[in-house]
Structure 1
Amino acid sequence: MDPLTTTAAAGMRSRLETLDLLANNLANVSSPGFKADREAYSLYMAEESLLASEEGGIPQTSAPVIETHHTDYGQGLLTSTGNSTDLALSGTGFFQVDGPNGTLLTRNGRLQVTRDGRLTTMDGYALSTVEPRRIRLNPEAPFSVDPDGTVRQDGAAMGRLKLVNLGSKAQAARREGLYFSLDARGVQGLTEARAEVRQGSLEASNYSASEAAVKLVGVLRQFEALQRASQLGAEMSRRAVEEVARVTA
C-alpha cells in the first residue's frame, strides 16, 4: 500500500475513534456533573519500520492515531433546582462515594434519602463522610447542607460529606454512570477539596450540544477529505501499474 493511502486510512480510523468519543459526550449532554472526554493525537510508526529507516532504508510513513484520551474536569454551569436532595460543587473536587467494589468519585449531586435514612446517590451508593460513622437522617424531616458539606437536621450536625481532590499523578478511570474509580495508590493520594457545596442546585454537563454539532461537522469534513485522498492514492497506483506495464512500439 502506498504512503498516501496508508496515511489517509490511518487518519480515517482516528476520525472514527473521535466519533465514538463525540457520541458518548453528546449522549451525556443532559447528565448532571458529566465530564467530557477529549482526544490527544500522536504519530505511529511500527518498530520494524523505525529500525529500517534508522539503518538507511527507505523512510517509512508515520500514521496519525489517537494516542490517548483525557477527561476534561472543567466545571459545568450550576443551575438552581430548588430540591433539597440536589447538591452541586462550586470549585475543584468530587463527592466521595462508597461503591460496590471500593471508592468512587462523582460530581453528580442528584441524591436521595432512603427509607432507612441513608443519604445516597440515585444508584444507591452511600456518600462517604469525614467521620467513620455514616449519615443517618429522618426521611420524613427536612435537612440542610452547609457549604463545607456538613449535613444538619433539626439543628444537629449529622456528619460532613467527604469532598476530595485527585492527587497530582492519579489516573481516574471512568466507570458506568457518572463515576470515576481509582487504584489503591490513587485512593491514598486523595486530598481534601476546598469546593463549596450548593444545596438546591445541580452542575450541568461541561459539554454542550452546540459544541458537539461544530465538532461533528469538522470530523465529517475531515473524514471526507481523507477518503478522497485514499481514492486518489488508489487511482495513482492503478495508473502507475498500467503505465509501467504498457508496451510501446
Structure 2
Amino acid sequence: MDALIYTAMSGAERALRGQQVHANNLANMDTTGFRANLELSTSRPLSGYGYDDRHMADMQANAVTTRSGTMKSTGRELDVAIAGDGFFTVQGPTGEGYTRAGAITLDADGAMTVGGMPILGEGGPITLPIHTKVQIGQDGTVSILTPGTAQLQVVDKLKLVKAEASELTKNEAGLLVARDGQPLAADETVKVSSGHLEGSNVSAVEEMVATMSLNRTFEMQMKLFKASDSMAEAGNRLIGG
C-alpha cells in the first residue's frame, strides 16, 4: 500500500509537470522560430533503507522537436529563414546558442542582432558599415551596397550549423545549445531564404490532445492515491483489532 502511494504521487507529479511543458508550447505558438519542447520522464529508485521497491518519476523537459515550421514571406531584406535543416548562431549570455528565428535587426552601431543577441558570422558578431542596401545570399553571405558604389561588397557570412535533435537542448535563455557544451561547426550545406520568416513548429492540435491525456492521467493517479489511502485505513483497523 505504501509503495502504491509513491507510484500514484509520482505519476501525478509527472502529469502536472507535463501539462506545464505543453502550456509553454501553446503560449509560444506565434513566436518566430520557436521549437516545441518534448516531455520526457525516467524512473528513479527511491534512496534509503527499505525503499528498494519504490520508484519516482524524474521529469525532463530539455528535449526539443526540430521539425520545420510554416515559412512566411515578409519581403524585408533582413528577414531570413532556414530552408530545410539547420540553425543560425547567436552570442547568448553563456556562449554560442542556436535558433531558427531570423528576424534580424540593426542596433545604433550597425550590429546585426536577433532578439537582442548578436548574430554570429564566420568572423564573430557582424557589424555593418553605413549602407544603402543589404543582401543575404542563399549560403548566408551578407553583402551591402555602400553610398557612392554600384557593386555589392561582402561583409561576412552567417555561421549556419546543423545538428540532430538528440544532440540539442535548451538553456535558460531559451536558446538551443549542444548537449556536450561544445560549439557546433559551421555547415556549408545549410541554406537560407531571404525575405522570409519561419513560424513556430508547435501544433495546436497535438498540444491540446496531449494536455487532455495528461488531465486524465492526473485524475487516474489521484483515484489511485485515494484507493491506497482507503486500503491503509482498512489495514490499520484490522491491526488495531
1:75 aligned onto 2:72: no
> Residues of 2 paired with 1:119 and 1:163: CA distance?
15
Per-residue CA deviation, residues 53-79 of structure 1 (Å, 9 max, x unaligned), is: 8xxxxx723333325641222222212
- For residue 164 of structure 1, what is the aligned residue in structure 2? 161
SS at match of 2:68: coil
Q: How does 1:142-221 map to 2 (within 5 A)?
A: 142-154=133-145, 155-166=152-163, 172-176=169-173, 178-181=174-177, 186-187=182-183, 189-221=184-216
Using the TM superposition, give the Cα deviation of residue 195 of structure 1 relative to its aligned residue in structure 2, in angstroms. 1.9
What is the identity, as a one-letter code, of the residue corresponding to 1:179?
A: L
Q: 1:160 to 1:41 in 2, by over 3 A?
A: same
> Residues of 2 paired with 1:183 and 1:64: CA distance?
22
Q: Tell me whether 161-170 or 30-39 shows the greater mean CA deviation.
A: 161-170
Using the TM superposition, give the Cα deviation of residue 229 of structure 1 relative to its aligned residue in structure 2, in angstroms. 0.9
Using the TM superposition, give the Cα deviation of residue 14 of structure 1 relative to its aligned residue in structure 2, in angstroms. 0.9
Per-residue CA deviation, residues 148-178 of structure 1 (Å, 9 max, x unaligned), is: 00122232222211111248985544232x4
Q: 1:173 to 1:193 in 2, by over 3 A?
A: farther
Q: TM-score under structure 2 normalisation?
A: 0.84
Structure 1: gaps spanning 5 or more residues: 54-58
SS at match of 1:117: coil
Per-residue CA deviation, residues 165-208 of structure 1 (Å, 9 max, x unaligned), is: 248985544232x4234589511x53425221111111111112
- Asked whether the 8 Å contact 2:118–2:125 carries over to 1, the reply is no
Which structure: larger Rg?
1
SS at match of 1:205: coil
SS at match of 1:34: coil
1:134 aligned onto 2:130: no
Instruction: Give me the identity figure in percent.
Output: 25
Q: TM-score under structure 1 normalisation?
A: 0.81
> Residues of 2 paired with 1:24 and 1:231: CA distance?
30
- Asked whether the 8 Å contact 2:63–2:168 carries over to 1, the reply is no
Using the TM superposition, give the Cα deviation of residue 217 of structure 1 relative to its aligned residue in structure 2, in angstroms. 0.8
Q: CA RMSD in A?
A: 2.8
- Asked whether the 8 Å contact 2:46–2:54 carries over to 1, the reply is no
Q: How does 1:92-103 map to 2 (within 5 A)?
A: 92-103=85-96
Per-residue CA deviation, residues 131-150 of structure 1 (Å, 9 max, x unaligned), is: 468341436x2322111001
Q: Which of 232, 236, 239 lines up with 1:241 in the alignment? A: 236
Q: How does 1:112-127 map to 2 (within 5 A)?
A: 112-123=105-116, 125-127=117-119
- Asked whether the 8 Å contact 2:4–2:228 carries over to 1, the reply is yes
> Residues of 1 paired with 2:222 and 2:165: CA distance?
41
SS at match of 1:24: helix
- Asked whether the 8 Å contact 1:88–1:199 carries over to 2, the reply is yes
Please list every run of at least 4 consecutive aligned residues from structure 1 whose deviation after the TM superposition is greater than 6 angstroms.
none
- Asked whether the 8 Å contact 2:103–2:197 carries over to 1, the reply is yes
Using the TM superposition, give the Cα deviation of residue 10 of structure 1 relative to its aligned residue in structure 2, in angstroms. 0.7
Structure 2: gaps spanning 5 or more residues: 146-151
Aligned length: 235
1:42 aligned onto 2:34: no
